[in-house]
Amino acid sequence: MKLVVDANIPAADACFGAFGEVIKRPGREISAEHLRDVDALIIRSVTPVNASLLAESSVRFVGTCTIGTDHVDSAYLAQQGIRFANAPGCNAEAVVDYVLASLLTLAERQGWRLLDRCVGIVGVGNVGSRLQARLQALGVKVLACDPPRAEREGVSEGETGFASLETLIEHCDVLCLHTPLVSAGPHATRHLLNAERINELSPGTVVVNAGRGDCIDGLALRSRLAGQNDLTAVLDVWENEPAIDTALHDLATLATPHIAGYSLDGKLRGSLMIHQALASHVGEASALTLDGICPPPALASFTLQQALPCEDALRLCARAVYDVRRDHESLTREAHALGLAQGFDTCRANYPRRREFSTLTVCLGDEAQPLAPVLSAAGFNVVLA
């Protein structure tokens, strides 16, 4: 078997080498000519998979080591009898870490407390449900909007915690988007946050998009930010990546290059899930485990001896694992050096190793032990010294 694998997929040899010859190529450079005599294609989110890529190929299996699938023409694959697999939930914890790190950073900069905010979550799937659980465990008020899920579960607005998007816009201090990209139909999400809804946002609202760039009308958001300068935008995903809107990038308070889910742990989960799907496709058993391919964290534990204000403790622990400011500054620096599009891809291709909150064990001395509930709620492992 011959496999073409995106060069940015970690543990590619461990996960796919046993199946045959592994050829690694940058995801944006994979073309039809590379796939003529290839049996399997393993990608991430930057490779569009469609008839023009595969029509002359021998590919019988396509796997994307990501949650999202809007870069893959799954209908075409089904029509051609090509097996397709994605990795739902693989990096959901990393995206939640990103959102919490961003909100804690904004709270410090702008002088408010996350624990006093009302957060609206649009899309309560793998990521949104985990974010909701962590925020609620912290004691943050959460409103959730997910019409397709409410419809599937047979509930109406106001039942089991679901609310309309208009309710979230009216009542929430923070609006987090975690929907898939759906271009048409009753629950379309393209430009879900359109000009009308953006103009309805109360001054001071924080908008976080770590889902799909096209779910926000970027021109409308840019217009509101440039004209009134009364919203805070945290943008990890963008329309037209990597050729993103320079003016919108400059207006965002935190601007990062589609890396919210880029933890090593999340990437390795994705690699492992596609490994398992390919093993099933070829009828082979797999004994590979996440522990078998995941290295120990650089910082496994530290001790807090003294009590701190809750959000100071959360920021301290979060930044010990992941500091979102690094990614914001990295994109700004590379954009200045290379231009925004090339800088965007350079940041992604050279992304430093990042771990998840759950990999850090926080030991609490006697005086710091009251912090145990809030640190556990945020996703850290807590032990009492």
Give the residue numbers annotated as catalytic, written as ranges.
212, 241, 258
Q: Is 27 annotated as a binding residue?
A: no
Q: 217: annotated binding-site residue?
A: no
179 is in an annotated binding site: yes
Helix extents (H) in the chain = 12-16, 51-54, 74-79, 92-110, 126-138, 147-153, 165-171, 195-200, 218-227, 246-251, 264-282, 290-293, 310-321, 324-338, 340-349, 372-378
Partners of residue 208 on adjacent β-strands: 176, 234
146 annotated binding-site participant: yes
DSSP string, 33-60: GGSTT-SEEEE-TTS-BSHHHHTT----
Four-CA torsion 213, 217, 219, 224, nearest 10 degrees: -110
Candidates 89, 104, 176, 126; CA nearest to 374 is 104
CB 17 within 8 A of CB 35: no
Q: Is 346 annotated as ligand-binding? A: no
DSSP SS3 for 322: coil
CB 119 within 8 A of CB 141: yes
Q: Which residues are annotated as a binding site for substrate?
A: 45, 66, 262
Q: Which residues are annotated as a binding site?
A: 45, 66, 146, 179, 236, 261-262
Q: Which residues are annotated as a binding site for NAD(+)?
A: 146, 179, 236, 261
